[in-house]
């Protein structure tokens, strides 16, 4: 019987820390108020494509792939309930919270829904579909729990800081509840990643597949914010169609 090596979870956590999305220059710029209003709106519309717009359906698809593990099923059920209807927090569906925020910033629901994803945004959306449909549940859960939702709190803290310090929002306002809420709820949602890595990524083959999937997810996620920076901060002419 192969026993679990705790150093593998530490390796994955170190890999995430080395390319944590909160450290992307774009989030530092938001925290310092360095994005003009149009660039901030560009960020908001692209972020909508990544999580609020498609959710909670991707979470439901992830839940459906769960093995027979009651603790894991409980984690996914709570995550799905919160995303769909604010089940844990007693608030509302996260898509509705995001739309409320966007409208407070001056972006209509129609403008959100009609925004086209940047190529880099599409790359992450497509990769998530690959994880859901073509990769093992272990790779999927490790990537979602450690790289995507697992890194949310740090990103949200910087966004909230910038919104309140530089863009006229109040930290206690419901208008930014989408962001403030994720500073706490995703601390719970991120537990699925370490849980499955520690319990199920046992063999060298399992660890190798998880390692590759985590690296790919981190790379594409970083690239997504590179694209937003190029399109709306650098104003690269190649991205004129998205502005």
Instruction: Give the DSSP per-residue string, 48-81.
Output: HHHTTTTTTHHHHHHHHT--S-HHHHHHHHHHHH
Does residue 163 form part of some domain? yes
**What's the pTM?**
0.94
Residue 5 pLDDT level (bands cut at 50, 70, 90): confident
Does residue 68 form part of some domain? yes
Does residue 1 form part of some domain? no
**Which tens digits make up the pLDDT trace of 132-190?**
999 999 999 999 999 998 899 899 999 999 999 999 999 999 999 999 998 876 566 67
Does residue 219 form part of some domain? yes
Does residue 74 form part of some domain? yes
Does residue 2 form part of some domain? no
**Which tens digits make up the pLDDT trace of 48-74?**
999 999 999 999 999 999 999 999 999
Domain that holds residue 111: 7-242
**Confidence (pLDDT) at 191:** 87
**Confidence (pLDDT) at 2:** 55
**Confidence (pLDDT) at 192:** 92
**Which tens digits make up the pLDDT trace of 83-139?**
999 988 889 999 999 999 999 999 999 999 999 999 999 999 999 999 999 999 999
Return the CATH number at 72: 1.20.910.10
**Number of structural domains in the chain:** 1
Q: From residue 147, give the alpha-carbon distance in Å to each of 97, 106, 191, 238.
A: 23, 30, 11, 29
Does residue 128 form part of some domain? yes
Structural Rg of the chain based on CA atoms: 18
């Amino acid at each position: 019987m192969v026993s679990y090596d705790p150093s593998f979870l530490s390796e994955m956590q170190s890999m995430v820390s080395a390319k944590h999305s909160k450290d992307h220059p774009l989030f530092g710029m938001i925290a310092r108020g360095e994005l003009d209003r149009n660039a901030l709106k560009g960020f908001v519309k692209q972020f909508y494509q990544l999580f609020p717009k498609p959710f909670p359906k991707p979470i439901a698809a992830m839940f459906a792939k769960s093995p027979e593990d009651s603790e894991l099923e409980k984690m996914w059920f709570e995550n799905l309930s919160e995303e769909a209807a604010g089940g844990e927090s007693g608030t509302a569906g996260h898509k509705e919270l995001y739309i409320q925020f966007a409208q407070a910033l001056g972006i209509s629901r129609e403008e959100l829904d009609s925004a086209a994803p940047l190529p880099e945004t599409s790359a992450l959306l497509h990769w998530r579909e690959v994880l859901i449909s073509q990769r093992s549940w272990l790779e999927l859960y490790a990537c979602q729990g450690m790289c995507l939702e697992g890194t949310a709190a740090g990103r949200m803290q910087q966004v909230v800081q910038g919104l309140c310090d530089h863009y006229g929002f109040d930290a206690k306002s419901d208008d930014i509840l989408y962001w403030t809420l994720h500073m706490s709820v995703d601390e719970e949602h991120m537990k699925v990643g370490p849980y499955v890595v520690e319990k199920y990524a046992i063999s060298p083959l399992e660890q190798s597949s998880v390692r590759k999937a985590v690296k790919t997810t981190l790379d594409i996620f970083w690239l997504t914010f590179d694209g937003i920076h190029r399109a709306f901060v650098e104003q690269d002419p190649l991205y004129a169609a998205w502005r």
